[in-house]
Amino acid sequence: MSQFQPFRLLLAASLLAFTAILGSLLSGSVDLSFSDLMSYVLGDLPDLQRQVFEDIRLPRTLAAFVTGAALALAGVLMQVLLRNPLADPYILGLSGGAAVGALASIMLGLGGWWLSSTAFVGALISVGVVFGIASRAGSWSTTHLLLTGVVVSAGWGALINLMLSTSASASVQGMLFWLMGDLSQSSVGPAQIGVLVVGAALAMRAARSLNVLVRGDLVAASLGVDIKRLRLSLFFGASLLTVIAVTTAGSVGFVGLVVPHMLRLIGARDHRVLIPFSLLTGGTFLVVADTLARTLLAPQQLPVGVITALIGVPSFIAILRSTPSK
């Protein structure tokens, strides 16, 4: 592989993101062409098409991008925190807590605002439980934290199965869609975008320290990193990013685990490059997956989580095979 050129790659990723967003805005059951988009910008698009654009396409595309970017960044941060390449945003059980909250709402026939609020509360409970157990033990060792997360996830998993097996069959499909990740009801507001922007800025500021922290707590501490503070910030930062993602789109799998690894494989090992690159690529990946999810079998919509895995697995394998091990 030739010399890794971060700026060129970031430029390419930005262009790709732009193309994906444009593609998402222009595809769907109502035909919207590029010239319609231009007339929208100029303010002379007919009402019907304007509504489709403003109320459906734009919010959904934005939700997809923000969710994907948040998941990819959360994945990067979790992998550093746990110093484990298998870590993903959900590894500490957060999505399980959110799922139990969301499923409870669906069971009670509540939707919309209730769904995301109960998911939010469930996720927070999960973060609190993991944090409480890990701090009580006094050691924030990666193994301890990882084991705590895995056990808490297993507990949530049991509750999810209990709810699935006792619910009326009519509501089970909604539950499965949520569990696989689905953007059909999604929108994001200033709160979610704010969390993403602030999270990304703080992560960039800590990027240099993250490079050191992946080499171990002792190395980091001896090079002057305040590891206790950094690891706490990573824990809460990654959790908050994951919370905004799961409350927006359910537990979309694969993005948070695989996007950071794909980028590391093509050379973005330095977190100063990996963080912006993950944000762009994660966002793009989910926008593309969602566009496919709603157009492949139109008018039927597929859960976006299925698509992320279906296109993610082969592309990951392709990159893995094409990268020579040095």
Partner 1 sequence: MTPLLTANSLSLRAGSRTLCCDLSFSINTGERWGLLGKNGAGKTSLLHTLAGLRTPAAGDVLLGDQNLSTLSSAHIALHIGLLLQESVDALPSTVIETALLGRHPHARGRLFDNSEDLGLAYESLRQLGIESLASRAVTSLSGGERQRLALAMLLAQQPRLLLLDEPSNHLDLGFQTQLITLLLSQVGGKSEATTELSAPNHHTPKEAAVIMATHDINLAARVCDNIVLMVSDVETLVGSAEEILTEETLGRAYDCPIARVEHKGRTLFYPV
State yes or no: residue 326 binds partner 1 (CB under 8 A): yes
In which residue are the tokens 């701090």 written? 135
Is the CB of 38 or the CB of 317 nearer to partner 1? 317
Is the CB of 165 or the CB of 325 nearer to partner 1? 325
Least separation in angstroms between CB 78 and partner 1:
12
Q: Which listed residue (46, 85, 109, 111) binds partner 1 by CB under 8 A?
A: 85
Least separation in angstroms between CB 245 and partner 1:
22
Least separation in angstroms between CB 221 and partner 1:
5
Is the CB of 110 or the CB of 147 nearer to partner 1? 147
State yes or no: residue 26 binds partner 1 (CB under 8 A): no
| Piece of the chain touching partner 1 by CB under 8 A; list 19-27, 67-75, 78-86, 302-310 | 78-86
In 3D space, the residue among 127, 94, 86, 126 whose CA is nearest the CA of residue 254 turns out to be: 86
**CA 105 to chain centroid:** 22
Query: Which tokens go with 15?
Result: 């262009």
In which residue are the tokens 């970031």 written? 10
Q: Which listed residue (27, 84, 171, 301) binds partner 1 by CB under 8 A?
A: 84
State yes or no: residue 266 binds partner 1 (CB under 8 A): no
Question: How far is 103 from 174, CA to CA, in rounded Å?
Answer: 9
State yes or no: residue 170 binds partner 1 (CB under 8 A): no
In 3D space, the residue among 37, 29, 26 whose CA is nearest the CA of residue 296 turns out to be: 29
Is the CB of 111 or the CB of 216 nearer to partner 1? 216
Is the CB of 17 or the CB of 212 nearer to partner 1? 212
Is the CB of 146 or the CB of 180 nearer to partner 1? 146
Residue 19, CA distances (Å) to 25, 112, 275, 287 in order? 10, 30, 21, 10
Total residues interacting with partner 1, rule: CB under 8 A: 29
Question: How far is 238 from 14, CA to CA, in rounded Å?
Answer: 23
The CA-CA-CA angle for residues 118, 120, 126, to 5°, reads 105
How many angstroms separate the most distant Cα atoms in the chain?
A: 64
Q: Could you tell me where the DSSP H helices lie in 43-185?
A: 47-51, 58-81, 94-107, 113-136, 142-166, 169-180
Residues 245-264 that bind partner 1 (CB under 8 A): 264
Residue 146 three-state SS:
helix
Question: How far is 302 from 42, CA to CA, in rounded Å?
Answer: 34
State yes or no: residue 50 binds partner 1 (CB under 8 A): no
String marking each residue 86-125 x if it binds partner 1 according to CB under 8 A: ----------------------------------------
Helix H, strand E, coil C: the string for 27-78 is: CCCCCCCHHHHHHHHHCCCCHHHHHHHHHHHHHHHHHHHHHHHHHHHHHHHH
Report which residue type is found at 292: L
Query: Which tokens go with 145?
Result: 């934290």
String marking each residue 207-246 x if it binds partner 1 according to CB under 8 A: xxx-xx-xxx-xx-xxxxxx--------------------
| Piece of the chain touching partner 1 by CB under 8 A; list 98-106, 115-123, 186-194, 202-210 | 202-210
Q: Which listed residue (193, 272, 295, 301) binds partner 1 by CB under 8 A?
A: 272
List interacting residues with partner 1 (CB under 8 A): 79-80, 83-85, 204, 207-209, 211-212, 214-216, 218-219, 221-226, 264-265, 269-270, 272, 325-326
